[in-house]
Amino acid sequence: MRKPLRVISLRRRKSRLGGSPGKVLPANQALSFQDKRIRAIRRRLTVYLCLLILVAALVLYLAGYLPVMKRGFEQSRLVRAVKLFIASKFDSEQDEAVKFVQWALEQRTALLLAGDAEDIIDNYDLDSSPGTWAYENEVNRIAYLRKWVQARNVRMVEAVSTFEVDSVIREDDGYYWIELTEHTVYAYEYPHSDLIEPTWALEASLRPGTVGAFPLRSEVRISSWPRSPDIIDGAPGLLSSVLSVSVSDPALGTDEPSVRHEFGSRTVHVIEVIKAGSRWKIRKDWYQDPLGNNVAEPGQASDAAGSFPGDYSGSSETGDGASIVAGSTAVNALSGGDNYAISAAAGGVFDREKALRYAVKHSGVRALPEGGKYNPKYKIYTFAGGDCANFASQVLHAGGLPMGGGWHYAKEGSTAWVQSESLVWHLLSSSKGIRLFRGTFSEAGSGVQSDSPAGELEPGDIIAYEIKGQLCHVAVVAGKDPRGYVTIASHTADRLYFPWDLGWDDSTVFWFIKITY
């Protein structure tokens, strides 16, 4: 007998399978939805946090606190600052040593304006040979700068240094190695009688200007005045004012203001200090001096306008009455000082304005507001023979000189890119430049005289420095000071708007390379 058919309703079957849609979900299923929502919130927060980190990293990189990744995170200024701060909290002597070094270097810079070198003698460990050499080096650089100032008929009115501490290492015997970067701004003034005759009727208004392709970055600052007859007794007879006057100077060829010129440098010091009794002393101070290393007597000016070299034949000797032909430019060089003529019909591809902008932006001289950091796309060769040629090559390439012929940069620079002498010979042999002049300062002229060899230099041209027959340094022409004195930019040491011969002595042989591409 067949059993009766049982019909189970759909509602009942659903209840057996877990309930109808209208019923409350089980606790474990409800929690799964909550977990999903929490995970979604976490994902959003992670994305926002990553974006925040990327933005912060970009800001810190642009501010100079994070390096290019290839240089390693350990080299970042931010990490160094944090490590130094933490170390100073556990080592009070380290903080004392760092403050002493900064104070001692500030004293050293102040002596460039006035004072006696004896004022800093107690800062050096004269019981050790390196300490004695470090002190004698400071005495010599002060003497050299004062001779240069006197020979150029200018007056130093400013020299101020600021510092960034890069690293501090404590040795077991109690002394410290301190690496720090010094940023210095200098300024000099020409005697007022050279440019203007100050009177009490002058009005205050400053106008920056340019002379041809050269920027004039100057300020009219009259620091010292004769006493006015209208000033009552007891009132100060010295005023400090910023004025703008129209200066007619034949050397400039136009009416331009001011007598003041500012320039800057960047120097890396590696200093060893030790505590002798209650006083800290410098035992060693290693650095590349922008004011010159082992220089004694600055070059002396003469009445001769200069001389030009003879045929370029791959040698550094000058000839008489020859014609230098480089590309589409011909220079007739006649012996006899002033008697020379230049016929330049260069292609004009080289963009001097772009070259100058690059030189200023990547000079490394951040003491001046327009100066900037090294270009992180290029390796730094400071501790591998010097970075001067690498920098000059970057400037030339930024101005439009094409790579090739052994002069190039891929992952690193070729010999002609990074070595001074090879760079100069490449420019000459490739017809990208000609040698306008080779000789001493007295033969070159400062650039104030338009008919002197230095007067022919323009932004982007190259000055090479020869010592004992070897080209050891190159710099890029960056402009002129208010009187027309040629200034340069360079690396190792880092200089911006430096007078082109400052830091070199009377035995230095200068090469002027005119870019003709």
Q: What's the confidence (pLDDT) of residue 86? A: 61
Q: What's the confidence (pLDDT) of residue 300? A: 80
Who has greater pLDDT, 428 or 38?
428
Who has greater pLDDT, 304 or 168?
168
Q: What's the confidence (pLDDT) of residue 61? A: 59
Find all residues with CB under 8 Å of 110, minimum gap 6, and list them: 159
Length of the chain: 517
Q: What's the confidence (pLDDT) of residue 90? A: 55
- Of 237-251, 263-277, 285-299, the one with minimum mean pLDDT is 237-251
**Position 385: which residue type?**
G
CA distance 107 to 124: 12
- What is the CA angle 420-421-425, rounded to 5? 120
Who has greater pLDDT, 234 or 434?
434
- Between the two ends of the chain, the Cα-to-Cα distance in Å is 115
Find all residues with CB under 8 Å of 465, minimum gap 6, and list them: 471, 472, 473, 474, 475, 504, 508, 509, 510, 511
Q: Are 318 and 466 in contact (CB under 8 A)?
A: no
Residue 33 has pLDDT above 90, yes or no: no
CA distance 511 to 474: 9
**Position 92: which residue type?**
S
Who has greater pLDDT, 390 or 54?
390
CA distance 175 to 155: 39
Residue 204 has pLDDT above 60, yes or no: no
How much is the average pLDDT of 492-515?
Answer: 95
Q: Are 162 and 313 in contact (CB under 8 A)?
A: no
Closest CA to 513 of 463, 451, 478: 463
CA distance 377 to 409: 10
Q: How many of the other CB atoms lie within 10 Å of CB of 486?
A: 29
| Cβ-based burial of 470 (10 A; exposed 0-12, middle 13-18, buried ≥19) | exposed
What's the half-sphere exposure (Cβ side, CA atoms, 13 Å) at 121? 8
Q: What's the confidence (pLDDT) of residue 56? A: 80
Which whole-number Å values give the CA distances from 54 to 48, 49, 60, 306, 345, in the listed order? 10, 9, 10, 57, 51
Residue 124 has pLDDT above 80, yes or no: yes
- Residue 42 host element (H or E): helix 27-62
Q: What's the confidence (pLDDT) of residue 81? A: 60
CA distance 466 to 472: 6
Closest CA to 483 of 291, 306, 247: 247
Q: What's the confidence (pLDDT) of residue 352? A: 96
Q: How many of the other CB atoms lie within 10 Å of CB of 85?
A: 10
Closest CA to 152 of 446, 437, 476: 446
| Tens digits of residue pLDDT in 101-114 | 999 999 999 999 98
Q: What is the pTM of this model?
A: 0.67
Who has greater pLDDT, 96 or 237?
96
Who has greater pLDDT, 13 or 495?
495
How much is the average pLDDT of 381-403?
Answer: 95
Q: What's the confidence (pLDDT) of residue 4? A: 61
Sorting pLDDT into bands at 50, 70 and 90, what band is 433? very high
Backbone angles phi, psi at 325, to 5 degrees: -115, 120
Sorting pLDDT into bands at 50, 70 and 90, what band is 60? low
Residue 193 has pLDDT above 80, yes or no: no
Q: What's the confidence (pLDDT) of residue 495? A: 96
Residue 483 has pLDDT above 70, yes or no: yes
- Of 272-276, 303-307, 451-455, the one with minimum mean pLDDT is 303-307
Bond prior to 201 in cis (omega within 30° of 0):
no
Mean pLDDT of the residues in the chain: 75
Q: What's the confidence (pLDDT) of residue 174? A: 80
Sorting pLDDT into bands at 50, 70 and 90, what band is 74? very low
Residue whose structure tokens are 């309930």 = 19
Percent pLDDT > 70 in the chain is 65
Closest CA to 350 of 390, 427, 402: 402
